[in-house]
Amino acid sequence: MAKEDYIVRAPKATVKAKPAKVEKVLNEYGKGELHSGKPGPGKGPVVKSKKQATAIALSEGRKATKKGNK
């Protein structure tokens, strides 16, 4: 294949998480109040892993950013 056959794509735009939301979620983890499910009565088990807490915090931070832009 010739070099011209390849399609050049622009890199995907990244969405940054809201720092305030990330901090709030990590504070919940530190207090032992962060749950790994949907909010409400059946919250799911308490998060015990720092890695999982970080993943949840970044995910919720991105969601908060997307909601704020609408």
Per residue in 9-59, pLDDT tens? 777 777 788 899 999 999 999 999 999 988 778 788 999 999 999 999 999
Retrieve residue 69's tokens: 């832009």
Residues linked to residue 2 through DSSP beta bridges, in sequence order: none
* In a domain? residue 2: no
Query: Which range marks the domain in which residue 32 is found?
Result: 16-69
* In a domain? residue 4: no
* In a domain? residue 11: no
* In a domain? residue 27: yes
Residue 54 makes CB contacts below 8 A (sequence gap 6+) with 26
Residues linked to residue 46 through DSSP beta bridges, in sequence order: 35
- 16-28: pLDDT as tens digits: 888 999 999 999 9
| The total number of residues written for the chain in this structure | 70
* In a domain? residue 42: yes
* In a domain? residue 7: no
Number of domains in the chain: 1
Instruction: Evaluate whether 46 touches 55 at the Cβ level (below 8 Å).
Output: no
